[in-house]
A and B are shown apart, each in its own frame.
Chain A
Amino acid sequence: MSEKKPALWLRIYTFLVYAYIYIPILILIIFSFNKQKLNIRWEGFTLQWYEKLFNDHQVLLATRNTLLIAVISTLVATVIGTMAALALQRYHFPGYGASETLMYIPIVIPEVVMGISLLAFFSLIKFQLGLATITLSHIAFNIPFVALVVRARLHGFDKSIEEASMDLGANELTTFWRVTLPTIMPGVLSGAMLALTLSLDDYVITYFTAGPGSTTLPLRIFSMVRFTVTPEVNALSALWVAVVFVILFISEYAQRRRA
């Protein structure tokens, strides 16, 4: 695309859209330090809401659950999804088309439908709803996303380095471990990051597959938003935003260093 300086109105417009995107979050963060409960006027700087947060049992529990589910489902989905990406990108086998379609269904299907179907399924087999059911559900929708990302990165993979590796004396397993995996690692990590994000952020599917006592952060935030209007929610949100920013900057930095 042309690199001429775009029209002024376009720059202003874009700036406004960015503002539209960022202002809500900024307000959120600012008011998490507000003394006043109702979030209207600025009454003074305080950290009381943060304090309340750290003592909130439910929130801490939810955080632990969310992280646990996210890590486990990401690990499992990344392994299975990467295998699927390799299968689809490099092999032909009976049922290829069906496998591909099957894999893309979770991406296209509305989350509500997937959520209720899993709920129905778990009650049918009398599997009690809890952390396990949430994790199993997260893995289900994470696998296709990982596979999608890894597959996109597999384009242009030069098979001859695998042949070279075997030619030099490495068997199939060693070749995969020492040559193939390191080469596709950036793609795999991208896929894993996506899966982690989707899991951390998920509300709908988690909502249907969670049991009593197995609350996650998104669920907790939802009920807090629905029923109370304490700036504790602001504080929680601000913290979440901060943690995300830190993680992102670390990963950017790590990527820069590797390059």
Chain B
Amino acid sequence: MNTARVPDKTTRRFSLTKTLRESPVAQGLFLMGPTNTYLIVFMVIPLILVTVLSFMSRGTYGEVVYKFNIESYIRLFDPLYAKILGYSLLVGFLTTVLSLVIGYPMAYYIARAPARQRSLLLFLILLPFWTNFIIRIYAWIMILRSSGFLNSFLQWIGVIHEPLNILYTPTAVLIGMVYEFLPFMVLPLYTSLEKIENAQLEAAADLGAPPWKAFLRVTLPLSVPGMIAGTILVFIPAMGMFVVPDLMGGAKTMLIGNVIRNQFLTARDWPFGAAASMLLMLLTMVFTLYYTRKAGFGEELLI
């Protein structure tokens, strides 16, 4: 019997399929390759471009002048923009808090519902959100207009005599924003509430805690991961939102998203718009880093 090693014929030539077959590292790279390539081209490069743009300046006719300067950033310190930034943060904050306050009891209810009902209840929350975003805003415009449904209804039953001016105020914007972001808060809250074992609450009761205390000292703290995930999912997009303020807020409510949009499409001051974007990105990154360090990415809470 020939006990010498049989030479491996295929090592003479490099074969792609052979390498893929035999090396897990090659397989991993092969599978990850398209994503990496695509995102580098269509995301990393554009973002680098924006960064570069923020240091350029605007020419007389709206074209980009390639000269390094930080004028755009200096402009951002103008009190006008500081106000807008502050406003954006406020809106983001209020939206988050309101959706948390409104959404928490709802998440609680669903988490305590019988198992069969739960998926149905969740489904019902999501259902309207399968329709188009703009449609939903339009529905609210219809309702909140001076000649809209709400006013007509209230006048009809005699509660008020003159139409309320709701639309095109910050209040309207908030109503719209909360409407949009509610599911993003309810779902993570539900997920973390649902994980709380019944046994823990029973233990609390057994040790003498009345229901409200058990809630405060057991349920609430245990639902914090859900609150954090929900906050991340609401605050960041809310800050950068421009559609809702645009449609429901009128000229009075300008958020940072509106500024960016205007600079790029109306005023054609791309460098300034880029600088504003960088600011928004910075806020986003700071917020994300701070919260994910606290609670992990929480992707398991995203269904």
Contact = CB atoms under 8 A, between A and B. Distances in A.
Interface of A: 1-4, 6, 10-11, 13-14, 17-18, 20-22, 24-25, 27-28, 31, 38-41, 80-81, 83-84, 86-88, 90-96, 99, 102-106, 108-114, 116-121, 124, 136-137, 139-140, 143, 147-149, 151-152, 172, 197, 200-201, 203-204, 208, 217-218, 221-222, 225-226, 233-234, 236-237, 240-241, 244-245, 248
A25 B136 contact: yes
A72 B154 CA distance: 47
A104 B297 contact: yes
- Return the 8 tightest CB-CB contacts between A and B, nearest first: A110-B240, A91-B28, A24-B139, A117-B46, A87-B31, A93-B28, A121-B46, A87-B32
A225 B134 contact: yes
Contact of A83 (B35, B240, B243, B299): B35
A28 B50 contact: no
Contacts of B46: 114, 117-118, 120-121
Given A113-B240, A240-B132, 12 more contacts: A84-B32, A87-B27, A87-B28, A96-B28, A99-B36, A105-B39, A110-B236, A110-B239, A120-B274, A124-B49, A137-B42, A237-B138
B297 A113 contact: no
Contacts of B110: 14
B127 interface: yes
Nearest to B299: A148
14 contacts: A10-B105, A22-B128, A24-B179, A40-B152, A83-B31, A87-B27, A105-B43, A108-B288, A110-B240, A117-B49, A117-B50, A139-B38, A149-B303, A222-B243
Nearest to A118: B46
A2 B50 contact: no
A2 B112 contact: yes
B27 A91 contact: yes
Nearest to B21: A172
B138 A233 contact: yes
B277 A136 contact: no
Interface string B252-267: 0000010011001100
Contacts of B141: 225
B181 to A, nearest CB: 12
B34 interface: yes
Contacts of A226: 247
B42 A91 contact: no
Interface in B24-70: 24-25, 27-29, 31-32, 34-36, 38-40, 42-47, 49-50, 53
A84 B102 CA distance: 37
Given A28-B142, A103-B39, A108-B284, A203 B133 contact: yes
Interface string B262-295: 0011000010011001001100100010000000
Contacts of B182: 17, 21
Interface in B154-210: 179, 182, 193-194, 196, 198, 201
A118 B42 contact: yes
Residue of B49, B143, B236 with most chain A CB atoms under a 10 A cut-off: B49
Contacts of B21: 172
A4 B112 contact: yes
B106 A14 contact: yes
B261 A112 contact: yes
B269 to A, nearest CB: 12
A93 B132 CA distance: 40
A81 B39 CA distance: 11
A161 B261 CA distance: 51
